[in-house]
């Protein structure tokens, strides 16, 4: 009686597919990975606009949302690596679909298609990491800033203070 792994290894030997390539048609792990990346994309699409619009910047690299964002960034970076070994469908001269099994062709296909977009969008998170580390030093804790940040809309003067264009009263004799 052969195990599932033995059967898979025999199938690989028959079609000469390199052992490290992932065939998305038969890979259970790839289906799970698709759910993970889809969840990360949904989280990013929903939470990031709220975070940017309504929450203060992270003050520490130990904040929960900061850690969750870095885990999602790591998932996207892993996904870049997965795409270098993921077989893809192509059409041959007969217009029938064939799955590309040549590692060099897979790599070049990914480099010419989504690689640049995936890499740039994943590496943007480095700015978050640098900003938090600059604010808090080596341990990620943030010390109070030496000067207040400039305000886009300064507060309006209180009703008890005189308007800025009036002159002070003349001195008493």
pLDDT digits (tens, 9 = 90+) for 106-123: 999 999 999 999 999 999
Helix (H) or strand (E) holding 5: helix 4-15
CA separation for the pair 51, 48 (Å, rounded): 5
pLDDT band at 96 (very low <50, low <70, confident <90, very high): very high
Per-residue pLDDT reduced to its tens digit, 137-163: 445 444 444 444 444 455 555 556 555
Query: What band does 16 get if pLDDT is binned at 50, 70 and 90?
Result: confident
| Residues 76 and 122: beta-carbon distance below 8 Å | yes
Stated as kind and residue range, the H or E segment containing 90 is: strand 89-91
Report how far residue 58's alpha carbon sits from residue 73's, in angstroms, rounded to the nearest whole number: 16
Is-above-0.75 flag for pTM?
Answer: no
Element (H, E) at 99: strand 97-99
- Over the stretch 61-89, which tens digit does the pLDDT of each residue have? 999 999 999 999 999 999 999 999 999 99
**Which segments within the chain are labelled E, that is strand?**
89-91, 97-99
């Amino acid at each position: 009686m052969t195990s599932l792994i033995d059967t898979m290894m025999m199938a690989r030997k028959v079609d000469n597919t390199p052992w490290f390539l992932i065939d998305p048609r038969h890979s259970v792990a790839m289906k799970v990975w698709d759910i993970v990346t889809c969840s990360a994309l949904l989280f990013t699409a929903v939470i990031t606009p709220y975070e940017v619009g309504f929450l203060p910047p992270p003050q520490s690299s130990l904040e929960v949302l900061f850690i969750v964002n870095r885990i999602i960034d790591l998932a996207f970076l892993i996904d870049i690596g997965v795409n270098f070994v993921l077989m893809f469908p192509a059409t041959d001269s007969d217009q029938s679909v064939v799955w590309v099994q040549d590692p060099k062709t897979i790599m070049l296909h990914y480099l010419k298609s989504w690689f640049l977009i995936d890499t740039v969008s994943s590496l943007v998170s480095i700015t978050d990491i640098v900003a938090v580390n600059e604010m808090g030093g080596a341990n990620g804790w943030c010390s109070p800033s030496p000067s207040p940040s400039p305000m886009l809309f300064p507060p309006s003067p209180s009703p008890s203070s005189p308007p800025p264009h009036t002159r002070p009263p003349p001195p008493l004799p």
